[in-house]
Amino acid sequence: MFEKDVVCLEIGSSKLRVIVASEGVNNTLLVKELATREYDGYFQGEFVDEKRLAPSLFDIFNQIDFKKKKYNKKLFVSLPAEMTKVVSTKASVEIDGMGKVTKSDMDALSYQAVKKARADECEVVSVSAISYLIDDHNMGEPLGKKGRNLSGEFSVILCEKTLIEKLNNIISDIGFVSVEYVSEVLCQALMLIPEEERKEGAILVDVGHLSTSVAFVKSDGISALASFSIGGGHITSDLCEAFDLLYEDAERLKRQVVISVDAGALDYYDLPSVEGKIERIPQEDANKVVAYRLETISSAINQCLIMQGINLSSYLPVYLTGAGATKIKGGKDFMAKCLARNITLGRAPLPGRDKPEDGAIYSIASEALKNC
Tell me the average pLDDT across 162-187. 96
pLDDT tens digits for range 92-117:
999 876 688 899 999 999 999 998 88
pLDDT tens digits for range 205-236:
999 999 999 999 999 999 999 999 999 999 99
Provide the pLDDT confidence category of residue 2 given band limits of 50, 70 and 90: very low
Say if residue 270's pLDDT is above 50. yes
Collect all residues with Cβ–Cβ distance below 8 Å to 122 and sequence separation of at least 6.
85, 158, 159, 160, 161
Question: Residue 272 class from Cβ within 10 Å (0-12 exposed, 13-18 middle, 19+ buried)?
Answer: exposed
Backbone angles phi and psi of 259, in degrees to 5:
-70, -20
User: What pLDDT score was predicted for residue 212?
Assistant: 97
Say if residue 186's pLDDT is above 70. yes
Tell me the average pLDDT across 173-194. 96
User: What pLDDT score was predicted for residue 1?
Assistant: 38
Provide the pLDDT confidence category of residue 25 given band limits of 50, 70 and 90: confident
Of 198, 232, 51, 210, whose CA–CA distance to 129 is shortest?
A: 198
Tell me the percentage of the chain whose pLDDT exceeds 90: 76
User: What pLDDT score was predicted for residue 97?
Assistant: 64
**How far, in Å, CA of 122 to CA of 125, rounded?**
9
Say if residue 298's pLDDT is above 80. yes
Say if residue 249's pLDDT is above 70. yes
**How far, in Å, CA of 6 to CA of 22, rounded?**
6
Provide the pLDDT confidence category of residue 252 given band limits of 50, 70 and 90: very high
Compare 137 and 368 and report the one with higher pLDDT: 368
Three-state DSSP state, 293: helix
Model pTM score: 0.92
Whole-number average pLDDT of the chain: 92
Provide the pLDDT confidence category of residue 310 given band limits of 50, 70 and 90: low
pLDDT tens digits for range 35-81:
999 999 999 889 999 999 999 999 999 999 887 787 889 999 999 99
Helix orientation angle between 232-243 and 247-256, rounded to the nearest 10 degrees: 110
